[in-house]
């Protein structure tokens, strides 16, 4: 089950980079050489759009959420940064620059939402769910009082983020924390490293569960236990778990892998086979 | 005396085809009811707030009249109750009446140039609200203004950037249009998205319903 760095990287981007087999360090050099950077692109989710139907997340939601919401954030960001110095920066640099110490400029919402959604697709998956194992489980025991307590506070964070926003599991100063952010804000510009997220904008769950937001996050009685059933602990598994504990800069490696992935996706990402916007509804 | 969910002044299906009956039913009986329940839960611990009307409660949001312990709950759920109660009242069945009165029409013309200009500005304010919120037409000291607020804030609250008496309020939370938007969009190529852009057909439709009711 050991997951190599290369596989991890692939899973960030979905099908479009599964053949990318360069080591992170080499690709970092390639990324540096290839300026100006290509436009920010829409990565495919690392699973088919109907893959989570059995886990409470419908294909219709995925099609609108990824195919329209996420895509629009990407398209609008590219329009906003075209021809500006921001266009030469990585997505994370754009987020940091446009956050502007809490007085965000116009590009911030689209940049952060582009990042947040990519990260959300990585946070859920058809092979996800169940209690985590290994080092991440140990860290949850140590810092958050165990998996059951973690689920309670993560669900609480998602349910009480009034309006639109996100619930997060983050690494903050070497410790795990559960947090929530409004609208497009994310943990990066608060100096934290995101590990897992849940989208609690109404568009993320309204087709599936309407006003019952806790069902989006986690509720046992509902049968739609997203966190229990979808949390992609395996993307945090094995090798990465060891890094989480042993190497404080594991998180920055994950971020670097992200940046590399972003720099290498061709501008037009093909739609996955299951995408059938008009026919499906 | 607890706040209660007002009856709609029309049937859930009355605003079809602009707002579908399912959306109206969930919006009124679930979302609005939750705000009523939560604001009651918050204020019942403080007898000094007992008997305060919805408008006075909202005017107190952002002042020390609301105890810190329940400030957020009153702002959010008191705001939600006020906003939704207002929203139901300013909409009406299509073709239900003849538009603004002569007096209001002349105020609109002098503030915005024309009713069409007002609509364009109002819809733009709604579309520009990122995340959840409301678009408003308000009157203050005889002047009309268009603004928007985040979440369940409103122009009545002391913390509002643009204060005034609301004349129109448009809910641009995704719950206000998401089921309908999905139906609408199924007939369109995937080009519009994001809360505000998805809501534009809704904004146009609904502001029409509201402006006819002025
Ligand atoms: Fe989303
Ligand atoms: Fe609403």
The H or E element spanning position A94 is helix A91-99
Which of the residue ranges A52-66, A187-201, B87-101, B186-200 has the most confident prediction, judged by mean pLDDT?
A187-201
DSSP readout, B34-82?
HHHHHHHHHHTT-GGGTT--HHHHHHTTTSTTS-GGGHHHIIIIIHHHH
Q: Does B128 touch chain A (CB under 8 A)?
A: no
Q: Is the pLDDT of residue A34 over 50?
A: no
The minimal CB distance from A206 to the residues B131, B133, B175 is found for: B175
- Quote the CA–CA distance of B15 and A93 in Å, as a whole number: 46
SS3 of residue A7 by DSSP: helix
Q: What is the mean pLDDT of chain A?
A: 69
Residue B30 contacts A, CB cutoff 8 Å: yes
Is B29 within 8 Å of chain A by CB? Answer: no
pLDDT greater than 60 at residue B6: yes
pLDDT at A231 over 70: no
CB contact under 8 A, B192 and A68: yes
Across the interface, whether the CB atoms of B131 and A164 are under 8 A apart is answered yes
The number of the ligand nearest the C-alpha atom of B134 reads 2
State mean pLDDT over A93-108.
91
pLDDT of residue A99: 94
Indicate the burial class of B167 (C-beta count within 10 angstroms; 0-12, 13-18, 19 or more).
buried
C-alpha to C-alpha distance for B61 and A201, rounded to whole angstroms = 25
Chains A, B: CB contacts within 8 A come to: 78
The answer to whether B81 is annotated as binding is no
pLDDT mean over A193-214: 82
- Rounded Cα gap, residues A67 and B73, in angstroms: 35
Q: Where in chain A is the domain with CATH 3.55.40.20?
A: 134-256
Residues 214-273 of A with CB under 8 A from B: none
Average pLDDT in the B173-187 region?
67
Residue of A nearest to B28 (CA): A211
Using the predicted structure, report yes or no on whether residue B167 has a pLDDT greater than 60: yes
Domains of chain B with CATH codes: 21-90 (1.10.287.990), 102-211 (3.55.40.20)
**Cα separation of B12 and A243, whole Å?**
55
Q: Residue A108: what pLDDT?
A: 96
Band (pLDDT 50/70/90 cuts) for residue A88 is very high
> Would the pLDDT of A17 be above 70?
no
Tell me whether residues B151 and A163 touch, CB distance under 8 A.
yes
CA atoms within a 13 Å half-sphere pointing along the CA-CB vector of A16: 19
Quote the minimal CA–CA distance from A36 to chain B in Å.
27
| Predicted confidence (pLDDT) at residue A270 exceeds the cutoff of 60 | no
Q: Pick B212 or A25 by higher pLDDT.
A: B212
Q: Which fold has domain A134-256?
A: minor pseudopilin epsh fold (3.55.40)
Q: Is the pLDDT of residue A200 over 80?
A: yes
- What's the pLDDT at A217? 62
pLDDT, position B25 = 93
Mean pLDDT over the full length of chain B: 84
- Cβ within 8 Å of A, B 158-187: 173-175, 178-179, 182-183, 185-187
Q: Name the residue in chain B with its Cα closest to that of A278.
A: B186
Please name the member of A67, A73, A278 whose beta carbon is closest to the beta carbon of B186.
Answer: A278
Kind and range of the H or E run holding B210: helix B194-213
User: Higher-confidence residue: A123 or A17?
Assistant: A123
């Amino acid at each position: 089950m050991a997951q190599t760095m290369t596989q991890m990287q692939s899973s960030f981007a979905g099908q479009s980079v599964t053949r990318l087999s360069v080591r992170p360090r080499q690709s970092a050099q390639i990324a540096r050489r290839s300026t100006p950077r290509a436009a920010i692109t829409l990565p495919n989710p690392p699973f088919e759009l109907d893959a989570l139907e059995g886990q409470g997340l419908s294909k219709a939601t995925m099609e609108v959420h990824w195919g329209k919401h996420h895509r629009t954030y990407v398209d609008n960001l590219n329009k906003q940064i075209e021809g500006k110095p921001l266009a030469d920066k990585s997505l994370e640099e754009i987020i940091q620059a446009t956050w502007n110490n809490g007085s965000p400029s116009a590009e911030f919402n689209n940049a952060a939402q582009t990042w947040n959604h990519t990260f959300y697709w990585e946070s859920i998956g058809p092979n996800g769910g169940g209690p985590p194992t290994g080092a991440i489980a140990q860290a949850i025991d140590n810092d958050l009082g165990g998996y059951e307590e973690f689920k309670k506070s993560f669900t609480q964070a998602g349910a009480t983020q009034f309006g639109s926003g996100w619930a997060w599991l983050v690494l903050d100063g070497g410790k795990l924390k559960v947090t929530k952010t409004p609208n497009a804000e994310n943990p990066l510009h608060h100096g934290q490293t995101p590990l897992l997220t849940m989208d609690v904008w109404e568009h993320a769950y309204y087709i599936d569960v309407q006003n019952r937001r806790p069902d989006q996050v986690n509720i046992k009685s509902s049968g739609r236990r997203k966190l229990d059933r979808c949390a992609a602990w395996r993307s945090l598994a094995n090798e990465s778990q060891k890094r989480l504990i042993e190497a404080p800069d594991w998180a920055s490696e994950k971020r670097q892998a992200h940046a590399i992935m972003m720099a290498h996706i061709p501008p037009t990402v093909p739609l996955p086979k299951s995408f059938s916007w008009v026919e499906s509804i | 005396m607890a706040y209660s969910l007002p009856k709609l002044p029309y049937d859930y299906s009355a605003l079809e085809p602009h707002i579908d009956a399912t959306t109206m039913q969930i919006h009124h009986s679930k979302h609005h009811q939750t705000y009523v329940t939560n604001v009651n839960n918050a204020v019942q611990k403080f007898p000094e707030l007992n008997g305060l009307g919805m408008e006075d409660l909202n005017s107190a949001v952002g002042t020390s009249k609301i105890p810190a312990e329940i400030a957020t709950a009153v702002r959010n759920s008191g705001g939600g109750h006020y906003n939704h109660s207002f929203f139901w009242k300013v909409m009406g069945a299509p073709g239900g009446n003849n538009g603004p009165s002569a007096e209001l029409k002349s105020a609109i013309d002098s503030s915005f140039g024309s009713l069409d200009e007002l609509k364009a500005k109002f819809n733009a304010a709604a579309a520009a609200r990122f995340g959840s919120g409301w678009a408003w037409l308000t009157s203050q000291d005889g002047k009309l203004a268009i603004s928007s607020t985040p979440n369940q804030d409103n122009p009545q609250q002391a913390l509002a950037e643009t204060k005034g008496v609301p004349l129109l309020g448009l809910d641009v939370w995704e719950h206000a249009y998401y089921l309908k938007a999905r139906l609408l969009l199924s007939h369109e190529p995937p080009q519009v998205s994001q809360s505000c852009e998805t809501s534009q057909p809704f904004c146009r439709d609904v502001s029409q319903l509201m402006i006819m009711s002025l």
